[in-house]
Chain A
Amino acid sequence: MKLGYKAGLLLIAGVLGGCMNAPKPIYSWDNYQDTVYQYYKLETGPEEQIAALKEGIEKAKAKDLPVPPGLHAHLGMLYSNTGHPELAGSEFEAEKVLFPESAPFMEFLQKKLKGGKK
């Protein structure tokens, strides 16, 4: 029994050392994907989801890791849906600054905000 346990540990060490480089994430994920899932499941309200994402941003700062792509934009959408177009606009802007790849899409969304549509 004990030997099995030791073998297990050794195996894990071997695999980690051998090829799978210990996963060192590029981003601070925290609850981003779970919050997206909650958005679909409708089990928590948008205010709670906003709070969760803001907490995630703080945690990322503390860890000195960037937030994942899409997080600021997703937060912007939640702000927009709850009647805060200014806050939404600045989140879309934040996404654009962090990820220039998103610029055309973020500008598309900002234009929609100004057009009075959500």
Chain B
Amino acid sequence: MRHLIALVGLVATLLLAGCAKPVDYDYSAFRQSQPKSILVLLPQNSSPEVNASHGVLSQVTLPLAESGYYVFPVALVEEVFKQNGMTNAHDIQGVSATKLREIFAADAVLYLEVTDYGTSYKVITSESRVTVNGKLVDLKTGQQLWSGSATASSAEGDSGNNGILGMLLQAAITQISHTLSDKSYDIAGVTSARLLSAGRPSGILYGPRSPKYGKEAE
């Protein structure tokens, strides 16, 4: 009986954590802009791991596209910058909105920053942690549409809500993408899914290619 009560409690907590509507998040600029396509630029990296930017960049297309947006091919976009003499994230993220709109004709641009990546952030032995901050900006008006931050860690236990939800999310990802033996890259996949999947509290809104587009609660 006591088990049952504990179980019901847990389920309730999980459901609440999973479905809670964004509190006080202002989506008015986002709704007004209605972006269809998103240009993701090479993330700034303030972690000590050199692979961090590319590890994260490789993983952001899935959550954004599954949320209903056209996502420009990330490597090809970077290649275009490279051919124009821009090789680092700082230079690339400094390109003006006018120039970006001219070349890519994207509706919005996503600026990312990786603050933790890999095992260097070591609290518990062999923990892999990836933290990413993101900011979505309208390319016509220059207005910020959304911003957020997410973290995932290999050390997340199965005790907290996030742990179980994270595992579910991870299971969903490994189901559709093959995992490589690179732990931080896998964790980056969970982080980007947490940060950039629509339908999560304070997350991005669904885009026009999603069946859930425009059906969110006001």
A binds B: yes
Q: Are A69 and B75 in contact (CB under 8 A)?
A: no
B95, CB-defined interface residue at 8 Å? no
Q: Are B76 and A73 in contact (CB under 8 A)?
A: yes
CA–CA, A51 and B55, complex, Å: 22
Please indicate the chain B residues that have their CB under 8 angstroms from the CB of A29 in the complex.
62, 176-177
Q: Are A101 and B37 in contact (CB under 8 A)?
A: yes
CA–CA, A27 and B172, complex, Å: 13
Per-position 1/0 for B160-203, Cβ under 8 A of A: 00001100100010011110100001000100000000000000
Please indicate the chain B residues that have their CB under 8 angstroms from the CB of A10 in the complex.
7, 11
B10, CB-defined interface residue at 8 Å? yes
Output the least CB separation between A41 and chain B (Å).
8
Indicate the member of B7, B69, B83 with the most A CB atoms within 10 Å. Answer: B7
Number of interface residues of A (CB under 8 A): 44
A36, CB-defined interface residue at 8 Å? yes
Q: Are B178 and A102 in contact (CB under 8 A)?
A: no
The 10 residue pairs across chains A and B that have the minimum distance between CB atoms? A70-B73, A104-B105, A37-B58, A101-B70, A19-B19, A40-B54, A101-B37, A73-B73, A23-B172, A19-B18
Instruction: List residues of A whose CB falls within 8 A of some B CB.
Output: 3, 7, 10-12, 14-16, 18-20, 23, 25-27, 29-34, 36-37, 39-41, 68-71, 73-74, 76-77, 95, 99, 101-105, 108-109, 117
Instruction: List residues of B whose CB falls within 8 A of some A CB.
Output: 3, 7, 10-11, 14-15, 18-19, 36-37, 51, 54-55, 57-59, 61-62, 65-66, 68-76, 79, 83, 103-105, 164-165, 168, 172, 175-178, 180, 185, 189, 209-210
Sample of 10 more A-B contacts, CB < 8 Å, known A14-B15, A70-B71, A77-B73: A7-B7, A14-B14, A15-B164, A23-B66, A23-B172, A29-B176, A68-B65, A69-B69, A73-B72, A105-B103
Between A and B, 22 residue pairs with Cβ closer than 8 Å are A11-B14, A15-B14, A19-B18, A23-B172, A26-B66, A26-B68, A26-B210, A29-B62, A31-B177, A32-B177, A33-B61, A40-B58, A68-B61, A68-B62, A69-B69, A69-B73, A74-B75, A77-B79, A101-B36, A102-B72, A105-B104, A109-B76
